[in-house]
Amino acid sequence: MATFIVWNWMIPLLYVFPAILGIFVFRQRPVRLRNTAGGVVKVGRLGWSWTYFYFGFWVPLFRSEIGIAALHLLFTIVTFGLFQLVWSFLYNKQHMTRLLTLSLIHI
């Protein structure tokens, strides 16, 4: 009976622990990007993406990156979710690179 109680606390803690780390340890730093030709301002974030950790391929889908979302869904399915764990460390950098590339193309 005691092990059942321990597991009841361990599973929610394992799920919430990355958010606690994301809020207090791996803080996301906002960065403003402004296109000098068009004046369009975008805000990107640098650091560990706790939103990608929890929501996975939905994050690029809500940011209107349908091809990237489909690719991330495929990789998440193939790797049984390991891709989502690893990519949460890399997603913000990848998204910022795409924002910078798009702002350079539209100039």
Q: What is the DSSP letter of 58?
A: H
Dist. CA 100–CA 76, nearest whole Å: 26
Q: What is the pLDDT of residues 32-61, one digit of tens each?
A: 877 777 777 778 788 788 889 889 999 999
Which pairing describes strands 29-34 and 41-46: parallel, antiparallel, or unpaired? antiparallel
- Does the pTM surpass 0.75? The reply is no
